[in-house]
Amino acid sequence: MSPKPVRAREARTIIIEIDHRPVSCPEGVSVLRAAELGGIAIPSLCSHKDLSAFGGCRLCMVEIEGMRGYPLACSTIVAEGMKVLTESAALRDMRREILELILSEHPSSCLICDEQEECRQSMVTIRKAGVSTGCRYCPNDGQCELQAVVERLGVRDIHYPVYYRGYEAEHDDPFFDRDYNICILCGRCVRMCQEVRGASVLAFKFRGPKTQVGPAFGRSHLESGCEFCGACVSVCPTGTLADKVSKWDGRPDGFKISTCPFCGLGCQIELHHKNGRLSRVNPGLDPEINNGQLCVRGRFCLPETTHHHQRAKKPGLRRGRYFREVTWAEALDEVSSRLKGLGPKDILMVVSSDLTNESLFAAQKFMRTCLKSNSIDSTARWTLPGGVGLWASLFSLPISIKAISSAEAIIAVGLDSRFSFSVAGVEVRRALKEGSTLVTIDSNESNLARYTGHWLRPAPEKQGAAFKLLTERLLASGQKKGSSADLKKTGLDEEGLEKAVDALWPARDLAVVVGPAAFAQDGGQDIARALVKLSERPNTTILPLYQGANTRGALELGVFGEFLPGLARAKEPGLRLADVLEGKAKPKVIYLVGEVPFFKRPDCEFVISQDIYHPPFEVDAFLPASSFAEAEGTLTNVEGRVQELVRVEDLPDSASNGFSRPDWFIFGEISKKLSCPGLEYADSKQVLQEISRTVAGYPAAPDRRPRRFKPAENIPWDKPPASPSPAAEDGFRLVVEPGGFRHRGIDLSSVVEGLSELRLEEAFRLHPEDMQRLGLQNGDIIKVGLDGWAVTAPVRADADCFAGAVYIHRPLAYGGIGHRRGLEPLYRLSGDSLRVKIARGEQPAGQSCVLPGPGKTGS
Amino acid sequence: MPARNAKSLEAQRSRAAEEWAALQNNSRPVIYVGAGSCGLAAGAEEVIEAMESYLAKNKIEADLLRVGCIGPCYLEPLVDIQMPGRPRISYSNNTPALIQDVLESFFEKGEVYQRRLVGHLGADGGDGLPRFFDHPMLARQVRIVLRNCGIIDPENTGHYLARDGYRAFEKCLTLPWTEVLDIVKKSGLRGRGGAGFPTWRKWQICRENESDTRYMICNADEGDPGAFMNRSLIEGDPHAVLEGLLIAGYTIGARQGTIYIRAEYPLAIERLRRALADMRELGLLGERILGSDFSFDIKIKEGAGAFVCGEETALIAGIEGRRGMPRTRPPFPAQEGLWGKPTIINNVETLATLPHIIRHGAEWFSQYGTETSKGTKTFSLVGKVRRTGLIEVPLGMTLRSVIYDVGGGLVKEFKAVQTGGPSGGCLSEEFLDLPIDYESLTAAGSIMGSGGLIVVDRNTCIVDTAKYFLNFTQAESCGKCVPCRVGTRHLVHILERISQGKGELDDLAKLEHLARSIKGGSLCGLGQTAPNPVLSTIRYFRDEFLAHIKDKRCPAAVCRDLVVYRIIKDKCTGCQRCVQVCPTGAISGPRSEAHNLDESKCIKCRSCYEICRFDAIAGDAIVIESRA
C-alpha cells in the first residue's frame, strides 16, 4: 500500500506584524510570501513562488523578534504574533555587503559602466554588438532581476575585486544558450528542473568558488534527458540562460496572453513582441492549464515557425509552365473563376485540425453555401483514431487537465511527456510529489513509466486491452475478475496487475491520461469503452490526448462530408479524403487549407493551397494564410475551453512582412467574387458569434471554462478496422502512431532547427537491440512491408521502443523524411499492428535484402 | 552458535571472557602491533612482515594481534611482546631491523629487551619495569572512551564482549527510554562533534516528535585537518561506537541507524563492516533484538569526501543521495531530518561515551569535567609538540597541562594553539591556563570543535596559518550561499595580499568587516565559523599582521615574498652542495670557501636550505630570515 496522500488543507489565516504593520496571511507560508501579501517587497534573488526555499542569496534576511541573528524570510515559516522587521540599518548594510559579494562574482559592466544610460538609449539594433556605442555583454540587460535589486539597494560600486570565471559559453544544445560566467548560483533552474519538471537534468557541480550549474558528469543536456521545456530559462534571474532565437532582442516591447497553437492542451502563453514582431514565448502563469509550464514546442518553436525564411508570403498562380507571385486580386479572380459552376463532387476541400474555430467554420460554410457541396474533409479523422463517433462520446465525458495534480491516483496510458504534452507530465509529477499513486500502461519505456513502481508493459497493440482489463478489475471493487486468457493476451502478469489495482483501489479522486499513441493502436475502441465506463466512477476525470491543436474544434464544427456543425448529419455526404487517396473519387479541384495530405500533386485539374508554407508539389494557386501570430481567433482545447489566439504581429503588407490573410477572411473574399452572401465577416469575433448561434453550447466570445460536448445526435462508433495483413508470425509489428511535431501540415523539425537536433525528425524507430541484430545503423534506409507494398524511410534506434516492433508516425505532414515520398503506402493502411518484414532499402551488392524477423522477443 | 537472546549472549560473553583471560595468562607468546592508521603510516606493515618471517624462520609459535591506536602516535609503530608468564611489554618506533633485535632478545636470549622500551601493560609489579600508562603522555589522561583502543583486537568481537561489551545496551533494554534519557541527562553529556549541544535535549526533541519513523545517524565524517580522533576510535574499538548507536537508537525510538563515514577511512569502514556482521551473528541487529521489542539495523554510508557533509543537513542530503548541501534550519533534523522524519545525528565520540555512562552511571561520568562540561574528551594533539597523538583528558584541564604535561611541550618557543579545526580559532600564550571546556573556548573566540589541537611555535607564521584554514574552508564551501562561497574567497585574497607584502593598512578592518558579514550571513555552520581563524588571529596576533602589512616583514620567516636567504659565512664550509641544487645559479663560490648567494637570482625554492640542513657538511649554514 502506498502511503496515504497528504493533501494541503484549507489553511487558517493568521496575523503577523511586518514593519509594525499587521499582515494577515495563511498559516504555513513563508515570511517572504506573507510580506508579499502585505504589499511589502523584500529583496530576493533565489526564491521563486513555484520552488522550495533555498536560502542561497541571503538577501531576504530580516529581523524577527525572539530569533537569533538574521533569519531568512524565504525559509522562515510564519507563526501567530511574529514580529518581523524587513528594513534596518544593520539589514541594509548586510544586504549591500552580500550584494557586493554577488556582484564580485558577476561581471557587472551592465551595472557600473559609465556609458550605461547612453548605451540603453541608443541601443537600437538587436545585434550582439551594439552599433552606436557600448557592448552587449549580457542578453538580459534591462530584464535582469539582479539589476533591479542592485538599483533598489543602491549599490554603486564594489569594494572587492571582480572574479571572472572564464568558462566557455555553452551553445551546443538546441534552443537555449548558457553562459555560466554570469550565473549567480541562485539554484532556481536546478530546483525548477528537479522539483517541478521532475527531469533532474540540472544540478550543482563542483564546490567552493568552482561551483557551477549543469548536468552531472559533463554530459550534454540532450544526453541527460533534458525536455528543453525552457522552465530553467524562464526562472533565471540573470542572462545566464537565454533562448537562442531572441536572446539579443533586448527588452521586449510588451507581451500578450495567447494560446499555444501546437496541441490540444491549449496552454496559455505570453507572446512577447518587439518592433511589431513575435520575439519570444514565455509560459502563461494561468493556473487552469499549464501554470507557468510549457513543452519544447510551445516554449521555443513558435517564433521560428512563423518567421522561417521559407515562409510563404505572397499569393501565387501557375501560368503555363511557370509559377508566379501575383497580387491578391489576381489570385482571387483566378481561384473564384475556377470554383464557379462546380458540382458537389467536383471539388474536395481538406482542412487542417490546426485551424482556428473561425477558419474551420468559415471553410465549411463556404463549401456548403457558396459551392453547395459537402465535400469537405479534415485530417482530424487521422488524429482522432477510432472515428468521429468515438471521440464525440469521449468529449462528452468529464475531461480535466488540472484535476491530475490533485488526484490521489493516476493511470497513464501510452504517453511519453518528455517532448509532447509535457504539461500533462508535469501535472502527473506534481501529484506524485503530493503522494499520489501512478499506474502506467505503456509498451514503450516512456518517461512516465520511470516514475512509478506500477509499470504494466503490454505488447504495443494490447495497450487498450490492458487498460480495459485494469479498468474492469478496478470497477469490480478490486476483486479478481476476468479470465486468465484475457490476461495472457495482453502480455501482463497477474501479480503486477493485481498490485496496480490494489494501489488504485483506495483512491478517491482518479485521473486517467491517455496518450495519442494508445488510441492509434487497436482502433482505440477498448480504451474508449474503458474510459466511458471509468467515467461513471465518481470523482474520476479523464484526459484523452490527440494530435492537432484544434481537433476538438474541428469535430464540433463538423468539417466533414457527413457531419454539419454540432455533428448534425448532412443529408448528402460529400467526398472524403480517403476516397481520393484510394482512387475511388477524382474531383476536378482540390482545395487544401493548412494541410498537405499528399506527397505529390494529386491527380486533378486544379489544386489550390492555402497555407503558411508552400506544399512540396506544384499547385495551381497558392494563397498565403496568416499564422497564429498574425491573426485573431479561437482554439478549442481538449477540455472544450474556447480560448483566444491573439494577434501580436500587425505589420503592413510588404515583401518582407508578407501578404498573408486569415483563412476565414480569404473564404470571405472568394465568396464575394462568387457573389455568395453570408461570409463577409468584419472580424473573427463575428464568426465566433455565428458559431455560437449555430452550434449548441458554443460561447459567443472566448470562454475559458471547460465544456462537455453535446452532439446534435447520437453518433454510432465506427466498426473496428480489420487487420488486412496476413499474420506473418515472425514479422515485426508495425506500429503506426499519430503524432510527430506538426503544425498545419508541416513537420516542425523541418523549420525549427532545434527539433532535428533533438533527433525528433520522423523515421522508423526500432529498439537498439533489434537494430544491432539486423546490423542497422542510425540513418540507414530500410524498406518495411509485406505482400507487395513497401515503405522506405530511414531508421533510428530508440531505446524506449518495444523490442520486436517497428514504429513510425502516420504520415500527414510535409517535411522531414526526404519529403516522405517513400511513405505513400502508409496512407492506405487502416489496420494496426501489422506484421511486416524489414529489408535494407539500398542493399549492398550481393547481400540478401530481407532481414530476419524479431523471433521470440516480439511475441 | 549464534546468540539470539540475552541468555545466549551471556553464554557467548562468558566464553569470550575465558578466551580473554587465556590471552592475559598466555601459554605461548603474544605479539600486539599497533596497526591503526597511525601505526600503518609509520611502517607497521613492514614490521609485521619482519616479525612473521622471523617467527617462521625460527619456527616459533606465537599469536600476532593487530590492535588499534593506543595514543602516543609519535611512538608508532608500537609493538608489545607478551611472553608466557610475563607482562605485556611495549616497544616504540620499531623498524624491521630493530624488531629483529627485540625478538632475538626475547626468543633467543630469554631477556627483556631494554632499549626503546616504553613500559609494561600488565598489572603492578612487572619485573620492575615502568608501567606503560605511567608514561608522561599517558599519566594525566583519563581513558574512558579510549579504554579498549590499542588493548583489544578490534576485529575480535569476543574481546569487546569480554570487557563488558554490550552490557550497557542490555541494561537499556530493561529500562524505559525515559529512564535512559534521564541517565544521559544527569550525566551532563554534550555533543562531542563541536557545538556541544546537550545530547539528551536533542534526543528528547526527536523522541517527542509525533512520527511513525525516526532515524539515528552516526556522524563519522571527520574532516578537520589534523583531526583523527574518530578514525582512531573506530579503528581501535568499533563496537563501542556501535553499542552507543544501539543505545541512542533505542532511546529515540529509531529502527534504522546509519553511519556516515568518510570513504577516506578504509580501515575504519572495514572494521565497522566486520563488527556489524558479528553483531548480526550475535543477534544484536535485526528484528526484536535479544528477544526485546526493540528492532534496529545499521548500515554504512560512505561519504564522498566533502568537509561540509559533516554539517547535519548536508550529511542527510548525502544519505538521501543528493548533493551534500546544507539547508536552512529550522526545521532541525530532530524535527525533520532524514527522509523528512525526526532524526538524531550524534558524533562518534558521543556515541562511544554512552555505554560507559550507562554502565557506570551518570554520577560516575559527571565526576570528570567542569560544572558545565562533563566527562572526558579525546583530542588529536598535533603540531610542534614533542609528543603527538591521540589523547583523552577530563574536560577542564588547562591547555598548558595538555600541551606541556601530556604533549611534552615544544622544542621551540610556543606561539599559538589552534583548536576546533577550520571552524575554531588560534589562541595565544595568554590562554595557556584556560581550562578546556565549551564555554571558555567559545569566550576566547575559538571553539571546542571535534577535538583537533594544533600547536604551533614561533617558526609558524600566523598569517600563513589563517590563510591555510581559510583556503581550506573556501575550497570546501558547498557553493550554496553567497557569504560563504564568495566571502571566504575574498578573505583568502586579502590574506594572500598581506602575506605577499602587498597588504594595506585598512586590510585588517576589511578582514574583520567581511568576516563578520560571513559569520552573520552564512547559511550553515561551515560559513558561520569559517572566519574564526581570521578573527582570532587578528585578535591575538595583530602585531604579526601589522609586521606583514606595515614593515613588509614575516617574523616567522615563512611568507615567501617577505623572506631572504642568507649564507652564514662562518658556518659555510664551501661544500658546493647548495651550488649544485640551486636551480637558478644564485649561489656561487669556489669549493672550500664560503659561498655567495645572489639575492636577485634567488627564487626562494628552499632547495639550498634543505640540503644544507640535512646533507651538507656544515649544516644550517643557510638561513631563511625575515626581510629587514
Question: Rounded to a whole number, what is the distance in Å from the CA of A77 to chain B's nearest CA?
Answer: 9
Tell me how far apart the alpha carbons of residues A141 and B580 are, in angstroms, rounded to a whole number.
Answer: 60
How would residue A644 be classed by pLDDT, with cut points 50, 70 and 90? very high
Binary contact (A207, B476; C-beta < 8 A): yes
* CB < 8 Å to A72, chain B: 328
Tell me how far apart the alpha carbons of residues A292 and A233 are, in angstroms, rounded to a whole number.
Answer: 12
| From B308, B328, B521, residue closest to A94, measured CB to CB | B521
* CB < 8 Å to A94, chain B: 517, 520-521
Whether B308 contacts chain A with CB within 8 A: yes
Residue B430 backbone phi and psi in degrees, to 5: -60, -15
Binary contact (A57, B481; C-beta < 8 A): yes
Residue B525 grid coordinates: 555552520
Measured from the Cβ of residue B261, the count of other Cβ atoms closer than 10 Å reads: 24
Question: Rounded to a whole number, what is the distance in Å from the CA of B93 to chain A's nearest CA?
Answer: 40
Longest dimension (CA), chain B: 86
How would residue A250 be classed by pLDDT, with cut points 50, 70 and 90? confident
Q: With pLDDT > 70 as the criterion, what percentage of chain A qualifies?
A: 87
Whether B487 contacts chain A with CB within 8 A: yes
* Residue B596 CA: distances (Å) to CA of B567, B570, B571, B582, B588: 7, 12, 13, 12, 5
pLDDT tens for each residue of A508-550: 999 999 998 888 776 688 899 999 999 999 999 999 999 889 9
pLDDT number for residue A248 = 78
Q: What is the DSSP string of B149-165?
A: TTTS-TT-HHHHHHTTT
Whether B474 contacts chain A with CB within 8 A: yes
Longest dimension (CA), chain A: 89
Three-state secondary-structure class, residue A161: coil
Higher pLDDT, A753 or B377: B377
| From B328, B479, B486, residue closest to A101, measured CB to CB | B486
Tell me how far apart the alpha carbons of residues A176 and A282 are, in angstroms, rounded to a whole number.
Answer: 13
Chain A residue with the nearest C-alpha to that of B480 = A56
Q: What is the strand order of the sheet A13-18 is part of?
A: A21-26, A13-18, A83-85, A63-64
Whether A238 contacts chain B with CB within 8 A: no
Q: Which residues contact A621 (CB under 8 A, 6 or more apart)?
A: A315, A316, A317, A318, A331, A334, A335, A338, A606, A607, A608, A609
Q: Read off the amino acid at residue A469.
A: L
Binary contact (A58, B523; C-beta < 8 A): yes
Whether A208 contacts chain B with CB within 8 A: yes
pLDDT tens for each residue of A549-581: 999 999 999 999 999 999 999 888 889 888 887
Task: Give CB contacts under 8 A, 24+ apart, made by A326-331.
Answer: A328/A659, A328/A661, A328/A669, A331/A621, A331/A622, A331/A623
* CB < 8 Å to A98, chain B: 482-483, 517, 521
Three-state secondary-structure class, residue A95: helix
pLDDT tens for each residue of B323-350: 999 998 888 999 999 999 999 999 999 9
Q: Is the pLDDT of residue A842 over 90?
A: no
* CB < 8 Å to A187, chain B: 480
Residue ranges of A 67-86 with Cβ closer than 8 A to chain B: 69-70, 72, 75
pLDDT number for residue A780 = 83
Whether A210 contacts chain B with CB within 8 A: yes
Question: Rounded to a whole number, what is the distance in Å from the CA of A185 to chain B's nearest CA?
Answer: 7
Question: Rounded to a whole number, what is the distance in Å from the CA of B483 to chain A's nearest CA?
Answer: 6
Tell me how far apart the alpha carbons of residues A190 and A207 are, in angstroms, rounded to a whole number.
Answer: 15
Whether B306 contacts chain A with CB within 8 A: yes
Whether A54 contacts chain B with CB within 8 A: yes
Residue A548 grid coordinates: 492537432
Q: What share of chain A is helix, strand, coil (3-state, %, to 5)?
A: 30, 20, 50
Binary contact (B475, A69; C-beta < 8 A): no
Whether A694 contacts chain B with CB within 8 A: no
Q: Which residues contact A61 (CB under 8 A, 6 or more apart)?
A: A70, A71, A72, A73, A91, A94, A95, B521
> Best residue in B309, B477, B480, B494 to probe A by mutation, most A CBs within 10 Å?
B480
Whether A55 contacts chain B with CB within 8 A: yes
Residue B66 parent element (H or E): strand B63-67
Q: Which residues contact A77 (CB under 8 A, 6 or more apart)?
A: A28, A29, A30, A31
pLDDT tens for each residue of A124-157: 444 444 444 445 567 777 788 998 999 899 888 8
Tell me how far apart the alpha carbons of residues A823 and A808 are, in angstroms, rounded to a whole number.
Answer: 10
Q: What is the strand order of the sheet A277-283 is part of?
A: A254-259, A268-274, A277-283
Chain B residue with the nearest C-alpha to that of A74 = B328
Binary contact (A209, B523; C-beta < 8 A): no
Q: Which residues contact A352 (CB under 8 A, 6 or more apart)?
A: A378, A379, A548, A593, A594, A595, A744, A745
* CB < 8 Å to B477, chain A: 207-209, 211
Tell me how far apart the alpha carbons of residues B531 and B311 are, in angstroms, rounded to a whole number.
Answer: 17
Nearest to A428 by CA among A451, A396, A446, A445: A451
Q: Which residues contact A556 (CB under 8 A, 6 or more apart)?
A: A395, A565, A566, A567, A636, A695, A698, A709
Nearest to B104 by CA among B50, B40, B66: B50
* CB < 8 Å to B472, chain A: none
Binary contact (A98, B478; C-beta < 8 A): no
Q: Which residues contact A816 (CB under 8 A, 6 or more apart)?
A: A740, A747, A749, A750, A761, A762
Q: Is the pLDDT of residue A197 over 80?
A: yes
Is there a cis peptide before residue A721, judged by omega within 30 degrees of 0?
no
pLDDT number for residue A670 = 95
pLDDT number for residue A857 = 39
Output the average pLDDT for chain A. 85
Question: Rounded to a whole number, what is the distance in Å from the CA of B252 to chain A's nearest CA?
Answer: 23
String of b and e for B232-251 (b: at least 16 CB within 10 Å)?
bbbbbbbbbbbbbbbbbbbb
Q: Which residues contact B544 (CB under 8 A, 6 or more apart)?
A: B461, B462, B463, B537, B555, B556
Question: Rounded to a whole number, what is the distance in Å from the CA of A162 to chain B's nearest CA?
Answer: 10
Q: Is the pLDDT of residue A830 over 60?
A: no
Whether B495 contacts chain A with CB within 8 A: no
Binary contact (A56, B327; C-beta < 8 A): no
Quick check: A784 and A764 in contact, CB under 8 A?
Answer: yes
Whether A43 contacts chain B with CB within 8 A: no
Higher pLDDT, A462 or B337: B337
pLDDT number for residue A7 = 45
Whether A53 contacts chain B with CB within 8 A: yes
Whether B313 contacts chain A with CB within 8 A: no
Tell me how far apart the alpha carbons of residues A42 and B587 are, in angstroms, rounded to a whole number.
Answer: 64
Quick check: A250 and A126 in contact, CB under 8 A?
Answer: yes
Q: Which residues contact A135 (CB under 8 A, 6 or more apart)?
A: A109, A119, A129
Tell me how far apart the alpha carbons of residues B372 and A719 are, in angstroms, rounded to a whole number.
Answer: 86
Three-state secondary-structure class, residue B288: coil
Binary contact (B521, A204; C-beta < 8 A): no
Angle, alpha carbons B594-B599-B605 (nearest 5°): 95
pLDDT number for residue A122 = 56
Whether B480 contacts chain A with CB within 8 A: yes
Whether A95 contacts chain B with CB within 8 A: no
Nearest to A159 by CA among B82, B530, B506, B614: B506
Torsion on CA atoms B358, B361, B363, B364, rounded to nearest 10: -90
Binary contact (B523, A56; C-beta < 8 A): yes
* CB < 8 Å to B488, chain A: 208
pLDDT number for residue B287 = 92
> Best residue in B482, B495, B506 to probe A by mutation, most A CBs within 10 Å?
B482
Under-70 pLDDT residues of chain B: 1-4, 124-126, 618
Q: What is the strand order of the sheet A347-351 is part of?
A: A322-325, A316-319, A621-624, A606-611, A589-593, A347-351, A376-378
Cell numbers 551594439 correspond to what residue? A130
The alpha-helical segments, DSSP class H, found in B477-606 are: 482, 488-499, 507-521, 525-529, 532-540, 542-549, 577-581
Binary contact (B479, A208; C-beta < 8 A): yes
Question: Beta strand A437-441 with A454-456: parallel, antiparallel or unpaired?
Answer: parallel
Q: Is the pLDDT of residue A846 over 50?
A: no
| From A98, A161, A211, residue closest to B521, measured CB to CB | A98
Q: Read off the amino acid at residue A218.
A: G
* CB < 8 Å to A161, chain B: 490, 493
Nearest to A14 by CA among A62, A56, A60, A77: A77
How would residue A717 be classed by pLDDT, with cut points 50, 70 and 90? confident
